[in-house]
A and B are shown apart, each in its own frame.
Chain A
Amino acid sequence: MGNFFLLLGMGLFTLVLLCLYRGVFGPGVLNRIAGICAIGTKTLVILLLMGFIYNRVEMFIDISMVYALLNFIGTITAAKYLEIKGDV
């Protein structure tokens, strides 16, 4: 079962790399924000899979919840910065 989670995590990691390409080279700011937001959600799942691999899910679930909350706030801040033209 550990191998299955490891393969799943590696697959998600390749997806993270693709999103990172969109975040770095993406044409325009909207593509960059969407790419970074997608990286956040994938990182959350990767953290939970690490918890399953190390048999300490109850510990990693705390970290992933904090990551989700801060990712939400960061995305709202970036979107608002864009909405009012360089003013949070």
Chain B
Amino acid sequence: MTRVTDDIIIRAVSRVLIPFIQLYALYVIMHGHYSPGGGFQGGVIMGASFILYLLTHGLEEARTKMSEIKAGVFSSFGLLIYSGIGLLCLILGSNYLDYGKLSTILKVIPAQARSLAILGVEIGVGITVMAVVFSVFFDISTGGITPEDEEDLGGRDG
């Protein structure tokens, strides 16, 4: 179990640093076309910011920001965005993830439609990777025992 630390320096530094890490993660996702990065890398940086919060503020406080259930929902939601954009292309009569056909919906030329749809796909990948990275660290930290499990185990003992 991750315990709360009383070190004021670590807490203050992480409180200042976490917003900038998250802003940088958004930059890496948005700017992935022109510079190194993309959905996966930005998602890992975003997940690292949550891991830093968990390390410095303890397990209970991190559960109020991002719980196991929320992490699971976010990982599925990102996959839904990814496959939804792919299936939308399939429904419009072209190949899976062939974004050119989306120009009829978005009312732009096909090149712009490709750029926008790739950005959407990368946002979906970023959300999924962020949630999964955080969820893996959470499960290692708690040993895979959620608060509901603890209640069940306590009831069985009593």
**How many A-B contacts at CB < 8 Å in the complex?**
38
Provided the pairs A59-B36, A62-B35 are in contact, do residues A73 and B48 lie with their beta carbons within 8 angstroms? yes
Main DSSP-derived SS at the B contact region: helix
Query: B residues 3-21 with Cβ under 8 Å of A?
Result: 3, 5, 10, 17, 21
Q: Are the CB atoms of A69 and B55 closer together than 8 Å?
A: no
B120 within 8 A of A: no
B130 within 8 A of A: no
Tell me how many residues of B have a C-beta within 8 Å of chain A.
20
Q: How far is the CB of B88 from chain A (nearest CB, A)?
A: 31
B52 within 8 A of A: yes
Q: How far is the CB of B108 from chain A (nearest CB, A)?
A: 28
Q: How far is the CA of A66 from the CA of B44 in the complex (A)?
A: 10
Q: Are the CB atoms of B35 and A77 closer together than 8 Å?
A: no
Chain B residues within an 8 Å CB radius of A76:
10, 52, 55-56
Q: How far is the CB of B119 from chain A (nearest CB, A)?
A: 18
Q: How far is the CA of A77 from the CA of B35 in the complex (A)?
A: 29
Q: How far is the CA of A66 from the CA of B45 in the complex (A)?
A: 8
B86 within 8 A of A: no
Chain B residues within an 8 Å CB radius of A88:
2, 55, 141
Q: How far is the CB of A80 from chain B (nearest CB, A)?
A: 6
B37 within 8 A of A: yes
Q: How far is the CA of A59 from the CA of B31 in the complex (A)?
A: 11
Q: How far is the CA of A69 from the CA of B28 in the complex (A)?
A: 13
Provided the pairs A62-B28, A88-B2, A88-B55 are in contact, do residues A69 and B45 lie with their beta carbons within 8 angstroms? yes
Q: Are the CB atoms of A80 and B36 closer together than 8 Å?
A: no
B1 within 8 A of A: yes
B116 within 8 A of A: no
Chain A residues within an 8 Å CB radius of B55:
73, 76-77, 80, 88
- Mask for A62-76, Cβ within 8 A of B = 1, else 0? 110110011011001
Interface of A with B (CB < 8 Å)? 58-59, 62-63, 65-66, 69-70, 72-73, 76-77, 80, 83-84, 87-88
For this complex, 15 residue pairs linking A to B, each with C-beta atoms less than 8 Å apart, are A59-B36, A62-B28, A62-B35, A62-B37, A66-B28, A66-B41, A66-B45, A69-B45, A73-B55, A76-B55, A84-B3, A87-B1, A87-B3, A88-B2, A88-B141
